[in-house]
Chains A and B, each alone.
Chain A
């Protein structure tokens, strides 16, 4: 299984400031023939299902604000919220879809400082 490790477990950021969440996979999720990283990011607010933000590590889902961006390749990935808004308070998860079993990171809780 590919183990996904997120850091930090939680972070508190002031409104308008940058939030950075890291995700590390236990093996590369870069598919060489397509040069695509099989990694997605989700946002989950309390009492709601996860909502897809980013796929292929850096492609923003339709309708997702451009303050959300994904970067990284191979085994190390980052989700950045460039200017934190109150509505961004949530838990964020990374997920690899390179191989089964599909696996998720443990989540990072983002709060307002």
Chain B
């Protein structure tokens, strides 16, 4: 059973960088699939941030591209999100998820439980 678990600080100061890691169990990232980050501001809808392949290839949401870096560490079976220059608008629950096929143009079949990140001084 594929399981994903987000980890990282729950509070980040404005203008700093938000860093989260997704640990994957039950499946080796190096075997394939794309792995993504999605966020959900409190009480609002879902926004795709970007996705990374096991090879390190990335696709980002253009609305966040200038501030986002997603990377993969197959040796640790993890992938990570860095979002720079955060503001209060970046306060959200951040989910990591696995795409359901080998391409990034696919649905998300497995999700982590999500972690709330609050941007505040």
Interface residues of A (CB under 8 A from B): 1, 38, 40, 42, 48-52, 55, 61, 93, 95, 97-107
Contact = CB atoms under 8 A, between A and B. Distances in A.
B7 to A, nearest CB: 15
Given A55-B107, A101-B61, A101-B62, A49 B45 contact: no
Contacts, number: 58
B100 A52 contact: yes
Contacts of A55: 100, 106-107
Interface in B86-120: 95, 97, 100, 104-109, 111-114
Given A101-B61, A102-B104, A102-B105, 7 more contacts: A1-B62, A49-B114, A50-B46, A55-B100, A93-B45, A97-B106, A107-B45
B84 to A, nearest CB: 19
A81 B105 CA distance: 26
Contacts of B109: 52, 61
Given A52-B100, A95-B107, A101 B63 contact: yes
Contacts of B95: 49-50
Interface residues of B, number: 23
B82 to A, nearest CB: 18
B107 A100 contact: no
7 contacts: A49-B97, A49-B112, A49-B113, A49-B114, A100-B59, A101-B62, A104-B46
The 4 closest A-B pairs by CB, nearest first: A40-B107, A49-B111, A102-B48, A104-B46
